[in-house]
Amino acid sequence: MNSTLEKEIISIVADISGYDEEEIRPESDLQKDLEVDSIKAIEIAVAIEKKYKVSVRDEDIPNLVTVRQVVDLIAELTKQKG
């Protein structure tokens, strides 16, 4: 896993969820552990899409449960972009 990418995404999640970066683990469940509600989820998605210039596809959405899954998806999308 790309540790820089993970660090950057944890920082975005921290900013929007209100949790400290130290409290956020790759395996943290966004909804259950970090209380990310539907509006915060989209705020996170918008911030990530803007930063990495990628678009999350509809079929990716069901897989976005943990921080790690978000990091993996962005790694994949940026790789595809070349």
Partner 1 sequence: MNVSPNEQYDVIIIGAGISGLVCGCYLAKAGMKVLVLEYHTKPGGYCSSFKRRDFLFDAAAHSFGSYREGGNFRKILEDISLDKRIMITRFDPSDIVCTPDFEISFWNDTQRTVADLARLFPAEEHNIRKYFDYYSPQSSVNQFANMKMIGKTFSSFLGSYFYDSRLLNALTFPVFGNGGLPPSMLSAFTGTKIFYEFMIDGGYYPEGGIQQLPDALSSYIQEHGGKVFYRKCVQKILCKNETVTGVEVETGETYLSKYVVSACDITQTAKTFLKKEKAGNVLRQKVATMKSALSTFILYIGIKKPFSGLPQKGTNIWYLPHYDLDKIFYHVNRCDFRKSGGFMFRVAPDKKTILAFSLAPFRTETFWRKNKERIANILLEHVTKTIPELTQNIAYFDAATPHTLYRYTLNHKGSNYGWAPLPSQLFDPVFRHKTEIKRLYLTGHWITQTHGIPGVAYLGYNTAKSIMRREKLPR
In angstroms, what is the C-alpha Rg of the chain?
Answer: 12
Report the nearest approach of partner 1 to the CB of residue 28 (Å): 14
Q: Which residues contact 40 (CB under 8 A, 6 or more apart)?
A: 16, 17
* Site residues (CB under 8 A) for partner 1, limited to 16-75: 16, 18-20, 23, 30-31, 35-43, 45-47, 56, 58, 61-62, 64-65
Report how far residue 57's alpha carbon sits from residue 26's, in angstroms, rounded to the nearest whole number. Answer: 21
Closer by beta carbon to partner 1, 62 or else 82:
62
* Residues in binding contact with partner 1, number by CB under 8 A: 26
Report the nearest approach of partner 1 to the CB of residue 81 (Å): 18
In the DSSP assignment, the letter for residue 60 is G
